[in-house]
Structure formats: structure tokens, C-alpha cells
Amino acid sequence: MGKAFSKPKALSDTHTHYCPGCTHGIVHRLVAEAIDDLGIQEKTVGIAPVGCAVLAYNYFNCDFQEAAHGRAPAMATGIKRVRPDLMVFTYQGDGDLASIGMGEIIHAANRGEKFTTIFINNAIYGMTGGQMAPTTMPGQRATTAPLGRDTAQTGMPIRMANLLGELVTPGYVTRQAVLKPQQVNKAKKAIKQAFQYQMENRCFSFVEVVSTCPTNWGMTPVDALKWAEDTLLPYYELGDYKVPE
């Protein structure tokens, strides 16, 4: 009998530093599986963000560059433009992508850059210790919003997939989640699809993944999954926001 289950080749043997219950590990695996399935490990370049996934280059087994905070899409643009034969992906969190890196992601998407962005939306800054993100929900507590996010002062949470879906340039923009096994399976398909579009040189591809941060939410991993399901998903609706024709 053959092996039924094994670690993707595109993941290294390194133990991750992620907290118990954090969903980064799931998404790392999904990305690595997509890279394996498509046989592109040796021509893939990942871009690590600043945030919890800054050390992603220790966990993926492919070439990697490390960007400054928010600049991964500009860096990916530079690589992909000069080496269109490489498969390039950025892996960014919500502080990185939706706050300091908003300009870079919108323009890269609008130019239709032929790389893939995996966007982890867990509604908070993780690495710096639970500060308010542009994606933090109204009333949600954060260390810089101790009484909960006051939308009169800080506006409403930004829905990145909706925003990028509005751009006229063709692209693949989808929002997925990894809170339940069925969602994980769907997210896997979406991530692979995103890389496939890149392989076909079709368009920019963007997969937002609604994730959890039990540590900074102050919840158990199980409670975090439930809170995300009940609070995040009604606001961050899952589905495709744009598909190339």
C-alpha cells in the first residue's frame, strides 16, 4: 500500500513559531501542497511580509525574499517583471497588506501583475501583540483599542477582497476561510487555482483567508474558531469577488 499522507516537499522540517490554534500552519500547508501539486517548487520565489509570517522562509522550502512592512507586492512586481518565468507569491497579514501596504497591493493588482498574493485576515496585528488592524471588527478589543474599535474614530473594517474585486483590470480575487475542514478544502482549491492562473500568465491572483489569532483575541483555539465563524464571516463573506474571463 502506498503512502496515504505526507508532508509537502515545499515545506521544510522546521518547527514553526506560531501559537497554538493559529491557522497560519494550515495555510502554509495549503500553499505548499499547491506548489507540490503543480510541480513548481524549483522555480518558486516567496516573499515574506513583516508580521507573524516574517519567518515563513524558514518553513517553506523554496527561494524566498523578505520585504519591508507592506512592500511585498512591489518586491514581487520587481521579481516577476525581470524574471517572468519564476512563480512568485507574497504571503501577507492584514496589518502588512491592508494598512501600511495598501498602496502597493492596490497598484500591483491594478497593473495585473502576474503573481499570487495569499492574504491572512485575522482582524488584528499578531506579531506586535494585538494592536487594532484595518480589519478589526467594530467593538473588537485590541491593545490600541482597549474599549473596542470605535468606528466613529477609526472607520469600518476594510474588506480587501471586495475592494480589489472592484478594480476593472482582470484578476482572480477570492475570500476563503480555514475555520472548518470543508472550508480548508475549498481554500486549497482556490490557492491552487491562484497559482494556476499565474502559471498560465493570465492575471493577478489574490486569496484572502479568514483566519484566527487565539492569542491576541484572548480566546481558546476552539472559541476563536467559533468567534470567527459568528463575527467575521457575516462581515467578510466568502466567495469569489472576481474571476478572469
Partner 1 sequence: MAKVLMKGNEAIGEAAIRAGCKNYFAYPITPQSEVAEYLAKRLPEEGGVFLQGESEVAVGYMIFGAAGAGERVMTTSSSPGISLMSEALSYIAAAQCPAVFVNIMRGGPGLGGILPSQGDYFQATKGGGHGDYHLLVLAPDGVQEAVEMTMQAFTLAEKYRNPVMIMGDGLIGQMMEPVEFPDDLKTEPTNKDDWATNGMAHRKSKKRNLVKSLFLDPTALNENNLVLKAKYAQMKKEEVQYELVNADTDYQVLITSYGTMSRVCRTAIDMLKEEGIEVAMLRPKTLFPFPEKAVFDASGKESCKAVISIEMSMGQMVEDVERCVKGRKPVEFYGECGGDIPSPEKIIEIIKALL
Among 16, 37, 78, 219, binds partner 1 (CB under 8 A): 78
Position 128 contacts partner 1 (CB under 8 A): no
**Cβ at position 168, least distance to partner 1 in Å:** 16
**Cβ at position 103, least distance to partner 1 in Å:** 6
**Cβ at position 59, least distance to partner 1 in Å:** 12
Position 67 contacts partner 1 (CB under 8 A): yes
Choices 27-35, 102-110, 141-149, 174-182 (CB under 8 A): range interacting with partner 1: 102-110
134 with 119: CB under 8 angstroms?
no
Radius of gyration of the chain (CA): 17
* Cα–Cα distance, 33 to 38 (Å, whole number): 8
Position 56 contacts partner 1 (CB under 8 A): no
> 3-class SS at 93?
strand
Position 83 contacts partner 1 (CB under 8 A): yes
Q: How many residues does the chain have?
A: 245
* Cα–Cα distance, 117 to 124 (Å, whole number): 19
Listed residue (203, 199, 179, 177) closest to 190, CA to CA: 177
Among 62, 145, 161, 190, binds partner 1 (CB under 8 A): 62
Among 31, 32, 34, 48, binds partner 1 (CB under 8 A): 48
Residue 155 gets the label, from left (phi > 0), alpha (psi -120 to 50) or beta, of left
Listed residue (88, 97, 104) closest to 50, CA to CA: 97
Position 25 contacts partner 1 (CB under 8 A): no
Among 1, 4, 82, 152, binds partner 1 (CB under 8 A): 82
86 with 43: CB under 8 angstroms?
yes
Among 37, 38, 41, 202, binds partner 1 (CB under 8 A): 41
**Cβ at position 92, least distance to partner 1 in Å:** 13
Position 107 contacts partner 1 (CB under 8 A): yes
Here the cell at position 161 is: 477582497
| 137 Cβ contact list (under 8 Å, min separation 6) | 123, 149, 157, 231, 232, 235
118 with 27: CB under 8 angstroms?
yes
Number of residues that bind partner 1 (CB under 8 A): 34
Q: What is the DSSP letter of 232?
A: I
Position 65 contacts partner 1 (CB under 8 A): yes
Q: E-strand spans in 125-180?
A: 171-177
Identify which of residues 125 and 227 has a Cβ nearer to partner 1 in the complex.
125
Identify which of residues 74 and 232 has a Cβ nearer to partner 1 in the complex.
74
Position 127 contacts partner 1 (CB under 8 A): no
Residue ranges binding partner 1 (CB under 8 A): 41-45, 47-48, 54-55, 57, 61-68, 71, 74-83, 85-86, 103-104, 107
